[in-house]
Amino acid sequence: LEGDAPMCCRTSFPLADRVLEVSCTPAPGFYGRSGFWAAWMVFFGGVILTGLLAAHLNFLMERNRVVEALAKERTEALHESRTRLELAFSGAELGYWDWRVQTGQITFGGHWADMLGYAPEDLAPDVRTWRQSIHPEDKEKVLEALSRHLKEHSLRFETEYRLRHRDGHYIWVLNRGRVIERDNAGKALRVCGTHLDITPRKLANQARELLTAAVEQLGETLIISDATGRIQYVNSAFERMSGYTRDEVIGQFHHLMPGGYPHEEMFEEIFKTVDSGKTWQGVIDIQKKDGTRHYENATISPVFDEDGNISHHVDVRHDLTDLKRLEQEKENVEMKYQQAQKLESIGRLAGGVAHDLNNLLGPILGYAEMILEKTDSADGRYDALDEIRKSALRARDVVRQLLAFSRKQSLRIRNVDLSSVVEGFQGLLRRTLLENIRIEYYLHTPLVIEADVGQLEQVMMNLAVNAQDAMPDGGLLVIETAVVELDGDRIRERTGASAVKPGPYAMLQVIDTGHGMKKGVLDYIFEPFFSTKDKSKGTGLGLSTVYGTVKQHGGYIWAGSEPGKGTSFEIYFPLVGAPVQMSPQEQQSPLDTGEETIMVVEDDQSMRDM
């Protein structure tokens, strides 16, 4: 202290980034009112209190600084996390939505607006924005699934549907979401989820489904195998064609399974061609599961992967069974036509030869009879001359048969009822055939045709005698007449005749239950002098005579036979009168049913399959 000047004390110290200065000056009268020690105690107490207060203030300010720094750090981390989330949504092309159920407010974020062609500010934050964008055909399904999730507390809500784009078309989205907040009563308060644009995948699936459906419904057989020939896929046409199911062939090596490539050489040729990167095409003879075989036109191509290596083989096949059948039928018709042409040629030749023989036989027979009349029966030459006469007579009968085959014998043509001719011939036929032959007649009348009755009877007799020879132990002979409607194709198929007038025909059918004939024999039965019998039992002119007589009457003849199943001859004569329809009682056949009566039908297939 200097004189009476008041004492002054100053001190300074940092506090919260600042410098705090504290000064103390005794108040006037301080010394006069207190003792010396008391004054100093008050002074130092104030200094200590001030220091504690300053320290507390410094602590508070330091904590505030730390809190501010932590808040800044957390804010930056949150911003960075939100940025990463936005980038993740953008990278995954996901749009998210946050729906407040009670208010209907909805927040769209991420890629949600972009996938529909909108800017975020263009979309009203209301759930109706979303509902109005749903395709009308999908809306009921989507809202029902969402409602079920809200009520049933299921784990999540997921569905696929279409949303309308800003330009008017629709895109497919996969919507996934769940309730993240409920009230105490369990009522949904907040629902969040994401939208993913699945339009490319959906279109690809639709294209794949369309392709699969087309392949499955394809009429062609499709087989896909790996590069080693192991089957990976077959379509429905393969199952229909082959009789094998998918489960039976998937994983099998195609050339080793039943019905595969018929020859090892063909298999090697096919895979050598395909493995060289080329396409193989050809006809394959395939065996079905039931053992039958059919033809297929196969096109086998290699399939290359991204590296240019062959990964699979595609085998497309077209069934040629119908085509082969038509070709076979065509060959049969052509063969029958050639046979008919050959018979025509033989007929012309036989006619010329018969006339020449007839001219030669006339003098031989005449001179033989004249000499016999002048020769006594006791003469040793009489028997030789008689044999000459008998041989000449037999030769004359052969000439007549040749003339009949060549259709050059004279006929007495008149209108007759075919059924009446058959009915009148029953007695003679019964007396001619053996007793162990049972004869049944099924006649449709009237069947008016133009014919020589004697020649018709000769036709029936020849056929009946042949049938008897085919049934040495007895059997059934059926003779029936019927009206049959024929067209040109059917006649050409059966007889090879090229010029046929379609229409109704009178059919005479003779059926036996004999041993039948093989196809190779059946092709030659109408040729003159062809016979399967011993030479002592026939000349081979019986059926050729029948053929010639039928042709001379403007008709057609067809023979059908199988070994062990009998033989059927069908003869068609042009009708000259209106045919009468058959009653149901006339249309019942025992050979088809095992009954004791035989059906007479208007179709010519009644007994063909015996």
Which pLDDT value is given to residue 439?
Answer: 92
298 vs 286: CA distance, rounded Å:
11
Q: What residues does 574 pair with on adjacent strands?
A: 505
The list of the chain residues with pLDDT below 70 reads 1-20, 22, 24-40, 42-43, 76-93, 254-264, 322-361, 394-411, 488-500, 528-542, 577-610
559, containing H or E segment: strand 556-561
254 vs 266: CA distance, rounded Å:
13
Which pLDDT value is given to residue 72?
Answer: 74
Q: CB atoms < 10 A from the CB of 214, how many?
A: 10
pTM attached to this predicted model: 0.39
Which pLDDT value is given to residue 441?
Answer: 92
Which pLDDT value is given to residue 553?
Answer: 82
Cβ atoms of 606 and 599 within 8 Å: the answer is yes
582 vs 485: CA distance, rounded Å:
13
90 vs 401: CA distance, rounded Å:
103
Which pLDDT value is given to residue 595?
Answer: 30
Cβ atoms of 293 and 282 within 8 Å: the answer is no
404 vs 395: CA distance, rounded Å:
14
- Residues 6 or more apart from 253 whose CB is under 8 A from it? 228, 229, 230, 231, 260
